[in-house]
Structure 1
Amino acid sequence: MSTWARTPGSVVLEGFHPVKHALRFGAEVEQVVTTDLADLLDLATSHAPDLYDRLAVGATQVDRARFTELVGRPHPTGTAGLARRPHWDPATVLGADRTSPAVLLDHPRNLGNLGAVVRVAAGLGAAAVLSTGEVDPWHPTVLRGSAGLHFALPVGRLAEAESPAGTVIAFDADGEDLRGARIPDNAVLAFGSERHGLSERVRARADRVLSLPMRAQVSSYNLTTSVAMALYHWTLTA
């Protein structure tokens, strides 16, 4: 295990883009290291000029051996960070006065897909990404998949008995066509795993079941694609 991975309450940001997003969205970034400060500042110039001064002052150059010791493995950008895992207030996130939908993933199993969902949800302005089941939504693989955008919105695990306020809209192939529906701002958009679909508990809780438009003989969409389509539809009808 890497040195940073043993830090209680913190998460490792592997690469320039996770560090960039963590800094932009107010994460408590405790350390930033790079194997080449000049290369890092070149990246900042081209991809994040708003962070150039912070990285110029706050990043520490280390050799490759030290980088691997801290992070656990090398990275193509030679950049990594250590950030505090944020805590959010469930009453605020799950309350009825949300101005954008929350995404609920019902027992997701693929870590990379979960991370990609966080990334697209952040981009489209979702209120939160919540999941049920055993998978840790802050697992390092999930964090890599989100490119550090866990810090752009609340991300966490929901107990089976909990449910956010608002209209619960479940997505399933036998539901009404999404194109004829309007998604309320405070909706909860529920998605099952690719293989097993929605659980009976979530389906029973749903106020409405919608389906995504799909060509005949195509069996399903990737989870991230499904979330992106639903959230994009919300932006068009909000």
Structure 2
Amino acid sequence: MTESGPQSVPSVPPVLSVWRRHADACVLLDGFHALKHALRFGAEVPVAVAGDRAGALALADELAPDVRERLDGLLAEVAHEAYAGLVARPHPTAVAALAVRPPRAANLAALARTPRRTPVVVLDQPRNLGNAGAVIRLAAGFGATGVVTTGTLDPWHPTVVRGGAGLHFATAVERLEVAELPPGPVFALDPEGEDIRGLKLPDDALLAFGSERSGLSRELRARADHLVALPMRPQVSSYNLATSVAMTLYHWSATGAVPPVS
């Protein structure tokens, strides 16, 4: 009978220890594009991993040379199994990172600052996490001041951040009560409203959208200064939320809006 020594415990790679230390307090950036956008817009990223570091840097050479140097200094390669254990749904780029969420006070200050040169998008009691992420991506692309949600949906939920491709860091994203909305005239989308094609949306507008199922809440409707309707063929019940936001922001941008800062 032979004596066996103490069982060795597999060591945890240092980068995974750092990940575990930050995971509860940070926002998950899921995929190369989310990390790319977060870095472009000033996010603090304490840790980032890749299942294929060389492949991620090749993507940066092709698609994001402006952040390639930062990615080179930040990305640590881990085994694919280790990477898959950090995310709910592995991304095709096999890249993940953690970012520090912007302070709520800073976002609230940005939303409340006047005069405001670009609108705030208000999602009134949204239900679909992916749609909320798509709206944040749209708002960032149009240079909107921010996106506010009412109700129970967390606009910083990992699924929303994934849908927003990391562009939460390019605009102010917060959850508020209707009574806490920033200043400015509220233009709320409603099928009974005035046709948007006859309106010029002001730069300081709050553009409010109800859920696809139930529309505007009673509180938001009471707060609205104007009800606005998108053109729609009879017997078509509604547009997808992100589509409605895109159409409205495009109308605003096409009627005298200040171009987003490059």
Q: Is the pair's TM-score, using the shorter chain for normalization, greater than 0.5?
A: yes
2:72 is the counterpart of 1:36: no
Equivalent positions of 1:90-101 (< 5 A) are: 90-101=108-119
* Aligned Cα root-mean-square deviation (Å): 1.5
2:232 is the counterpart of 1:208: no
The Cα of 1:200 is off from its aligned counterpart by 1.2
Q: Is the 8 A contact 2:107 2:173 kept in 1?
A: no
1:68 counterpart residue number: 84
Q: Is the 8 A contact 2:110 2:172 kept in 1?
A: no
SS at 1:137 equivalent: coil
Q: Structure 2: 5+ residue runs without aligned partners?
A: 1-18, 257-262
The Cα of 1:79 is off from its aligned counterpart by 0.8
Q: 1:110-143 CA distances to partner (integer Å, 9 max, x unpaired)?
A: 1110000001111111110000001100001111
1:196 counterpart residue number: 214
TM-score (norm 2): 0.86
1:142 counterpart residue number: 160
2:43 is the counterpart of 1:27: yes
Equivalent positions of 1:3-18 (< 5 A) are: 4=20, 7-18=23-34
The Cα of 1:204 is off from its aligned counterpart by 1.1
Letter in 2 for 1:215: R
| Greater mean deviation of Cα atoms: 154-163 or 12-21 | 154-163
Aligned residues: 236
Q: Structure 1: 5+ residue runs without aligned partners?
A: none
Letter in 2 for 1:41: L
The Cα of 1:54 is off from its aligned counterpart by 1.3
Paired with 2:127 and 2:21, the residues of 1 have a C-alpha distance of: 22
SS at 2:85 equivalent: helix
SS at 2:197 equivalent: helix
Please identify the structure whose Cα radius of gyration is greater.
2
1:231 counterpart residue number: 249
Q: Do the aligned partners of residues 201 and 5 (structure 1) sit closer, same or farther apart at CA in structure 2, a change above 3 Å counting? A: farther
1:167 counterpart residue number: 185
TM-score (norm 1): 0.94
The Cα of 1:158 is off from its aligned counterpart by 0.7
Q: Is the 8 A contact 1:4 1:71 kept in 2?
A: no
Q: Is the 8 A contact 1:5 1:11 kept in 2?
A: no
Q: Do the aligned partners of residues 118 and 5 (structure 1) sit closer, same or farther apart at CA in structure 2, a change above 3 Å counting? A: farther
1:85 counterpart residue number: 101
2:126 is the counterpart of 1:111: no
Q: Is the 8 A contact 1:5 1:12 kept in 2?
A: no
Paired with 2:107 and 2:33, the residues of 1 have a C-alpha distance of: 27
2:66 is the counterpart of 1:53: no
Letter in 1 for 2:76: T
SS at 1:96 equivalent: coil
